[in-house]
Structure 1
Amino acid sequence: MAEKRAADFERSPSKRPKLADTNGDASAVAAPAPDQQEQAVGIFAFVSPETPGFQCTVKQRYTDFLVNEIIPSGEVLHLVKATPLPGAKQKVKNGVQDAKPTNSENVESAAVPAVQLPEASQSQPAQPEQNGQSSNQDANGDLPKPEPEPTQEASIPELSTVDKQTMHDIFGEETTEKIVALYAAVLKRPSRKPRDHNTVRSEIISDKSKRTEAHGAVRRIFDSKLQTETVQNTPGVIMAKAAPTMGPGGGRTRLHGTDSNGAGTKGKMGWKELGGEYLHFTLYKENKDTMEVLHFMATQLKVPAKTFQFAGTKDRRGVTVQKVAIFRMYANRIAALNRMAKGWVASGFEYKEHGLELGQLLGNEFLLTLRDCRFNGEDGLDSQKRLELAKEAVAVTASSFKAKGFLNYYGLQRFGTFSTGTHMVGMKMLQGDLEGAVNSILTYSTDSLPEHQPPDSRVPVDDTNRADAICRWRESGEAGHDFASRMPKRFQAESAMIHYLSKKHRVTGKPIQEKDWQGALMQIQHGLRLMYVHAYQSLVWNVAASKRWEMFGDQITEGDLIIVGEKNDDADVAPKEEVDEDGEPIVRPAEEDSAPSAESKFTRAHHLTKAEAESGKYDIFDVVLPQPGYDIAYPVGPLGKLYEDFMGSEEGGKMDPHNMRRTWKDISLSGAYRKMMGRPLGGLVECEVREYISEDEQMVETDKERIERERVKKEGEEESVNGSAKVEGGEDGEKKLAVVMKFQLASSQYATMALRELTKGGAGAYKPDFSAVR
């Protein structure tokens, strides 16, 4: 049985380099070059091949890759400094806990900004409530006696000149004074319920952009202690009021006679008084997977990891900031975990009425450091001329990038990190080969096994342990304690399937579901399970995008698809194909990397006529290409035939693009649309060429370092050398060039694909950790 499994899961796809199969085990081959990896998943073309690129190294240090989400309001999300909260019993300095860590593992978390914790949580994390008992009840189950409402000396804060002018421009002087007075009242009585404070109504603000600016300005200027909302029955009027008050550790102050954790708050109305049933917070992480951090949080909070919601996952190797939401969770419980955090911080707590969905973000801002940059024609130049050449080349490249954009390919991250790409797993699932799909997920390379690791091996420890755990399971058929201790926790899909397939009858001891392949796949978290079939869709999309560019370039042609309603006067244009039961030609959008939710709005697509294509109204940035499915329209003409030819080939899985329904609902694809081209949001591309010597020199400042620098500056302490300080390498060191680049991309666009266009494929990962082919 083991030999058959191994032979099956080692079957290589057509037109892929095959492995030598030894003893039924997975074998390793040299990782293909980046261009081979890209071509294997349909990535071929460049938008402006005439523009010279350059060679560089990406992510040599994880601080070389900074990513901050852009929330739907257009605000770039940053880690915020915590402010002292009323009732906190520990000494604080500017919102940073002045508490010494109990061991070396807590040094990092103790030094970062965190919300204040109750005294009881200093020595241990908050525990889940049981039988309605609050976490800060004493041994007898009694609540602590309520403390008198703290009152502070009232004084009207002085706004900076810039902030004052901003408020005057939006609200006028009179309303601004009222808002400032409200802020002073909140500072005076910080634990008072929001409804006990006055509210301030603005005059009618007719400009929508001004109203949007107003919400962000009030939140920023008044440190989130005030909140704004649009008055429903008076269009254009904004109401400012006190934000929900926070108790020790980020929890609520007393509600209906309960403790500061709000443990007595019951039912939907109680959560509504807090602000909503969903707790939103900002997650800052360094060199960590999103799910790795959320899984740790879930374990400590005793809740399923799927309880957490987020708009999109972020790269592991980097410093990222994103919004996370969780249903009916008190802020102080999340805040308490900061004391146990290693490489991450949770802050910026806020209760809202709604959670988060995948794709619910405007995009991401990237601040990248590209190291060891080399340019054509630099040989023989002295340091100064080489620097001038680099600046000129980067300026030309950035200008072309802003004007012409890049092909909006799905990047290599979409296709997995191990020898069998996720698109191959999805293909097997769609073909009905569920056993092959399971075995593809559980493939590994013998070169990753511990006994095959040289002393200087660069294979990640987690990958080695994963391979070891799967290998031992295949040999023994057991998934007991030994397996659990070997398999890293972040490989939840593999672990869940192996435990399911290993289940045995209690009496006979014989396996009872070792061939239930669909059951095994069902053990994978729903979103991750869908990732495999979506990766197949991405493969087809990439191939179509390359072929479309090869055939027509940026020329608009008859039969191209555009989204109805994006141009001011095309809202009444309706596609002539793919109608629903009511005769409406509708499809789901693909503005994110996930299946649309049931609540998503439908998007209509329209085939351009010859006259429309020649009208000049549309450009290449309007064109969309479909991911295959049963509820989308395909392009007409040669490109439409490409979908049929490629998907019907061996490489495309021998599938019919017009028959994508499956009996298993999870893999029955409705299809989606994706813009063919991408370009920087707002045309923002900032580039700076720098010289450096030491590889340890950090070129940019992280959010965490910024907060620490501001604290040091405010307190007048002697500033120490941190990660962003320049490290001198000596006069004899060889000077190298780095390009620090900042740009913003829309949701689901890949920075790696943008860099590919910028460098013309010259951007190489410092430590490759994925392979799309064998």
Structure 2
Amino acid sequence: MEEDADDGIRSDSLCFINDHVGFQGSIKTSPGDFIVTEIDELGRLVSKATDEPLCEISKTQPDPSNCVKKPKLNTQTVDLECENNEEAANSPGRSPAGHSEGDRVQPAGSDRDSEKENSVRCATSKCEVESVGLLSSLLDESTHTSLDHFARDVKEMWNSRTELTEPSPELSLGRILDKRQRAALHSAVRQTFPFLITVGNNSEVVVKPSLEYKELSHLVSEEEALGFFRYLDAKKENSKFTFQPDPNKDHRKAVHHFLNKKFGNLVETKSFPGQSHSAGNPNTAITVRFREKAHGKRSHPEGERRRAVYTAFTLQKENLEMFEAIGFLAIKLGVIPSDFSYAGLKDKKAITYQSMVVRKVTPERLKTIEEEIKKKRMNVFNVRSVDDSLRLGQLKGNHFEIIIRNLRNQPNDSANLRERILEAIENVKNKGFVNYYGPQRFGKGKKIQTDRIGLALLKNEMVKAIKLFLTPEDADDPVNKAKKYFLQTEDAKGTLSLMPEFRVRERALLESLHRFGVTEEGCVQAWFSFPHSMRIFYIHAYSSRVWNEAASYRLAAYGPKVVKGDLVCLDEDADEHLPSSKVHLVTEEEESADTYALHQVVLPVLGYNVQYPENKVGRWYQGVLGRDGLQACRFRVPALKLNVPGCYRHIVKHPHNVSHRLVHPDAAELRAEGPHADDTASSLALSFDLDASCYATVCLREMMKDDI
């Protein structure tokens, strides 16, 4: 980057925050010297065998201090049992329209009436028990009590026939930062109290009375109204809800009208007669079912619609790029790469363990290819069925086991090597490291790094982005020969014949280019041969590069002092996906009082929904956007269905659970090294944990004071 106009500070080089001397050594000498194991959201190493689902709801939550985020809550586990059987439709009894619950007169019934009533109550009771349990895991005791009191007050108001005032009463349940937890809370509240509605406002969950419920409860019984709204919220595919039989045609018409007016975009209604099949049959009942979603030009018949299959597993790979591993698995399983989801990217030159989910593949099918997988330096275990895919960032962090070999002092440093090593480890444990994105995010050593492709995509330069992706390295091998041929000829078909079969991504891209042409539109279609996670990866790489430069500029401009206009995170446990509401702008008074420390300072990762510092760093960001031609960029690429809201990232991070062991050479090694050999240690075994999105190579760089 060019010099800054304000003070000439350059920001194109990475800096350090510790002042120790450091040491030198070799990392990643072999894949076994660098072992990475994902830590799931419950704080478990994914390499450990487990039969539990990835994101199981548990009443016993882990210690919050040990988790970046709470475990994913699967609202589909709240089984409502609202679908009524055919026997229910044969049960007589319906109150006429216009009667309130207190006025409603039920006809003297048969045993079936009481059976029906009991079944409704049983289903309702089970829903309440499960939903209350879910609420207890999501809300603290005080908020849960306030919610119970609010619900009771609303019911008492309605039972006393008091009309709700405007605005209607409401209760805030507080801010829930995790999107999945908010969704679970919305559903749990509505399942427990179907006469309430929940609305979201900037991560805040607010509860209000449901006027639709009140209106429906004037038409049908309270049990039916409760059951219907629970059914509606559960959205259980292929399920139905049947009201009690109703002999009054005008009343049924009123119920049909209400349901279609209020919920017609979600459900459809129909009256089904009982066994006599006559229009005036007293057993005629209204059945509700969800509208089918259209699949292209034709909808699938109800009998053909099946629930999606998801299989979770731990992937172990050695010296293999993750996307190459996914491509291989996709071919063997007969699916496409976008059917795989994962929580984070992992190093190539390492042995890595990570969680993955593949859809449209059963556990049994995955297990049939285990032997073929092993031939590719991979393995799969912990194979089990789950309810949903993974998303990027759905992990607590990573555990690293690293061996640094060929230890030696920095040039011109004659101090004791052991002391240098111990000093470096202690400094980084206590003071942390600059939280740069690691070189592997950009394609270390590549002629064209990933951030350049991302910048082209942000500028909607689709052809340029394709050509950057297919730019050859200097090596004279079949892959680079094929790429060179493409740049010379733009002959996608000919290049495809030259590209080796194992280069799955390049071949998928070339097949699309052959079909659609090397035009702007053709290149857009070609990018869609990549899954969404891969398309957006390149834009994230550009944002990451800018963040690295920004961090260097911020530290060079202001050092460790927190100054006016800095952004700080007020939530100690927040990850980098924290919302702007958790970010605070430092005031002049707070700077003078040294209110905040450097580890609380965050910088924005570019996107359309971030706040910039209000000091020289903010002006620096604007200068970078101008430099790269993104002054008007809204960080959305509609053509590729990419939206980049941005986030915030801490400048400084600390490793956790650090342990180390200096390994001495044996006598034979010492004799081989000669009489002046340092008898301290020849290698260092390090073990530590890092939060999600932190890089071990960056942490090691700070320890060793050496670009690695």
Q: Under TM normalisation by the shorter chain, which class is it?
A: 0.5 to 0.7
Report the identity percentage: 27
Residue 47 and residue 518 in structure 1: after superposition, are their counterparts in 2 closer, same or farther (change >3 A)?
same
Q: Is 1:686 the counterpart of 2:659 in the alignment?
A: yes
Tell me how far 1:441 sits from its aligned partner. Answer: 1.4
Tell me how far 1:616 sits from its aligned partner. Answer: 4.6
Structure with more helix by fraction: 2
Tell me how far 1:291 sits from its aligned partner. Answer: 2.5
Residue 339 and residue 517 in structure 1: after superposition, are their counterparts in 2 closer, same or farther (change >3 A)?
closer
Task: Provide the secondary structure at the position in 2 that maps to 1:355.
Answer: coil
Give the match for residue 644 of structure 1. Answer: 622
2:585–2:613 contact (8 Å) kept in structure 1: yes
CA RMSD of aligned residues (A): 4.0
Residue 762 and residue 211 in structure 1: after superposition, are their counterparts in 2 closer, same or farther (change >3 A)?
closer
Q: 1:610 aligns with which of 588, 596, 608?
A: 588
2:46–2:354 contact (8 Å) kept in structure 1: yes
Residue 209 and residue 744 in structure 1: after superposition, are their counterparts in 2 closer, same or farther (change >3 A)?
closer
C-alpha offsets along residues 696-729 of structure 1, whole Å, 9 cap, x if unaligned?
A: xxxxxxxxxxxxxxxxxxxxxxxxxxxxxxxx76
Task: Provide the secondary structure at the position in 2 that maps to 1:562.
Answer: strand
Give the match for residue 466 of structure 1. Answer: 479
Letter in 2 for 1:324: M
Distance (Å, rounded) in 1 between the aligned partners of 2:439 and 2:309: 37
Give the match for residue 496 of structure 1. Answer: 508
Q: Write the mapping of 1:410-489 to structure 2, written as runs, cut at 5 A.
A: 410-417=437-444, 418-445=446-473, 447-449=474-476, 464-475=477-488, 477-480=490-493, 483-484=496-497, 486-489=499-502
Distance (Å, rounded) in 1 between the aligned partners of 2:453 and 2:355: 30
Letter in 2 for 1:656: Q
Give the match for residue 562 of structure 1. Answer: 568
Q: Is 1:673 the counterpart of 2:648 in the alignment?
A: yes
Give the match for residue 541 of structure 1. Answer: 547
Tell me how far 1:552 sits from its aligned partner. Answer: 1.6
Distance (Å, rounded) in 1 between the aligned partners of 2:50 and 2:571: 41
Q: Is 1:327 the counterpart of 2:359 in the alignment?
A: yes
- In the alignment of these two chains, the number of paired residues is 465
Q: Is 1:756 the counterpart of 2:701 in the alignment?
A: yes
Letter in 2 for 1:636: E
Q: 2:421 aligns with which of 394, 401, 405?
A: 394
Residue 637 and residue 333 in structure 1: after superposition, are their counterparts in 2 closer, same or farther (change >3 A)?
same
Tell me how far 1:487 sits from its aligned partner. Answer: 3.0
Tell me how far 1:370 sits from its aligned partner. Answer: 0.7
2:664–2:682 contact (8 Å) kept in structure 1: yes
Q: 1:46 aligns with which of 11, 16, 25?
A: 16
Distance (Å, rounded) in 2 between the aligned partners of 1:281 and 1:371: 33
Tell me how far 1:431 sits from its aligned partner. Answer: 3.0
Give the match for residue 709 of structure 1. Answer: none
Residue 211 and residue 353 in structure 1: after superposition, are their counterparts in 2 closer, same or farther (change >3 A)?
farther
C-alpha offsets along residues 644-667 of structure 1, whole Å, 9 cap, x if unaligned?
A: 123323xxx133277545664645
Residue 761 and residue 43 in structure 1: after superposition, are their counterparts in 2 closer, same or farther (change >3 A)?
same
1:530–1:666 contact (8 Å) kept in structure 2: no
1:53–1:762 contact (8 Å) kept in structure 2: no
Distance (Å, rounded) in 2 between the aligned partners of 1:473 and 1:299: 25
Tell me how far 1:362 sits from its aligned partner. Answer: 0.5
Tell me how far 1:476 sits from its aligned partner. Answer: 5.4
Give the match for residue 361 of structure 1. Answer: 395
2:463–2:519 contact (8 Å) kept in structure 1: no
Give the match for residue 741 of structure 1. Answer: 686
Q: Is 1:347 the counterpart of 2:408 in the alignment?
A: no
2:333–2:361 contact (8 Å) kept in structure 1: no
1:359–1:591 contact (8 Å) kept in structure 2: no
Residue 313 and residue 630 in structure 1: after superposition, are their counterparts in 2 closer, same or farther (change >3 A)?
closer
* Structure 2 unpaired stretches of 5+: 4-8, 52-57, 72-128, 138-235, 240-306
Distance (Å, rounded) in 2 between the aligned partners of 1:41 and 1:559: 19
Residue 657 and residue 624 in structure 1: after superposition, are their counterparts in 2 closer, same or farther (change >3 A)?
farther
Give the match for residue 374 of structure 1. Answer: 408
Distance (Å, rounded) in 1 between the aligned partners of 2:406 and 2:338: 41
Letter in 2 for 1:466: V
Distance (Å, rounded) in 1 between the aligned partners of 2:65 and 2:470: 54
Give the match for residue 527 of structure 1. Answer: 533
C-alpha offsets along residues 179-200 of structure 1, whole Å, 9 cap, x if unaligned?
A: xxxxxxxxxxxxxxxxxxxxxx
Tell me how far 1:521 sits from its aligned partner. Answer: 3.2
1:430–1:667 contact (8 Å) kept in structure 2: no
Give the match for residue 30 of structure 2. Answer: 61
Distance (Å, rounded) in 2 between the aligned partners of 1:729 and 1:753: 31
Distance (Å, rounded) in 2 between the aligned partners of 1:520 and 1:634: 34
Tell me how far 1:754 sits from its aligned partner. Answer: 0.7
Greater relative contact order structure (CA < 8 Å, 6+ sep): 1
Tell me how far 1:512 sits from its aligned partner. Answer: 8.0
Deviates more, 1:556-565 or 1:746-755: 556-565
Q: 1:591 aligns with which of 555, 560, 576?
A: 576
Distance (Å, rounded) in 2 between the aligned partners of 1:318 and 1:448: 23
Tell me how far 1:391 sits from its aligned partner. Answer: 2.3
Tell me how far 1:411 sits from its aligned partner. Answer: 1.4
Task: Provide the secondary structure at the position in 1 that maps to 2:682.
Answer: strand
Give the match for residue 337 of structure 1. Answer: 369
Q: 1:406 aligns with which of 408, 413, 433?
A: 433
Give the match for residue 269 of structure 2. Answer: none
C-alpha offsets along residues 258-278 of structure 1, whole Å, 9 cap, x if unaligned?
A: xxxxxxxx9899xxxxx9953
Residue 753 and residue 211 in structure 1: after superposition, are their counterparts in 2 closer, same or farther (change >3 A)?
closer
Letter in 2 for 1:591: E
Deviates more, 1:57-66 or 1:331-340: 331-340
Task: Provide the secondary structure at the position in 2 that maps to 1:358.
Answer: coil
C-alpha offsets along residues 213-232 of structure 1, whole Å, 9 cap, x if unaligned?
A: xx99xxxxxxxxxxxxx976
Deviates more, 1:529-538 or 1:511-520: 511-520
Distance (Å, rounded) in 2 between the aligned partners of 1:315 and 1:376: 27
Distance (Å, rounded) in 2 between the aligned partners of 1:374 and 1:351: 49
C-alpha offsets along residues 558-579 of structure 1, whole Å, 9 cap, x if unaligned?
A: 1111235448xxxxxxxxxxxx
Task: Provide the secondary structure at the position in 2 that maps to 1:401.
Answer: helix
Which one has a bigger Cα radius of gyration? 2
Distance (Å, rounded) in 1 between the aligned partners of 2:645 and 2:352: 32
